[in-house]
């Protein structure tokens, strides 16, 4: 995995703190950049990414203490990651216990190679092959 194809901080609400954090660091290869605890409001934050926050996009993972589950809702789409080879990335993710929900292949109506995986809480993550990432999904 190389970089996030987004320039925002998506916030994924987590039902448990450790399982998703392990997924983003061990399975996707991101680094834990920093953490924050807020005892007064009972939540913890973990920021993960492939490089420093000054240079790369970051994902904010939020754990609300005592919350056992969330509904994903319809407002969340997905996170997109640029990868060198989508099929190889799927195999790495699968071999590390990740869930591949769409195998690598061209997007419908185009040639851009994509795949989809899910994190342990069900959030979708799109993998886009690097050579195709800048062309747009419709090409």
Please indicate if the annotation marks 129 as binding a ligand: no
What is d(CA 98, CA 54) in angstroms, rounded to the nearest whole number? 29
- The side-by-side arrangement of strands in the sheet containing 79-83 is 3-4, 79-83, 124-129, 113-118, 99-106
Q: Is 53 annotated as a binding residue?
A: no
Flag whether 71 is marked binding.
Answer: no
Active site annotation includes 126? yes
Q: Which of 53, 82, 126, 129 is catalytic?
A: 126
Distance CA 62, CA 73 (A): 16
Active site residues: 126
């Amino acid at each position: 995995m190389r970089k996030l194809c987004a320039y925002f901080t998506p916030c994924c609400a987590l039902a448990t703190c450790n399982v998703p954090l392990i997924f983003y660091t061990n399975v996707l290869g991101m680094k834990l950049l920093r953490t924050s605890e807020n005892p007064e409001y009972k939540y913890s934050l973990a920021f993960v990414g492939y490089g420093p926050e000054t240079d790369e996009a970051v994902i904010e993972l939020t754990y609300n203490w005592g919350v056992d589950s969330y509904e994903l809702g319809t407002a969340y789409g997905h996170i997109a990651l640029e990868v060198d080879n989508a099929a190889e990335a799927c195999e790495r993710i699968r071999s590390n216990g990740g869930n591949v929900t769409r195998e690598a292949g061209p997007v419908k109506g185009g040639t851009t190679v994509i795949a989809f995986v899910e994190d342990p809480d069900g959030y979708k993550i799109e993998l886009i092959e690097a050579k195709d990432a800048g062309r747009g999904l419709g090409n």
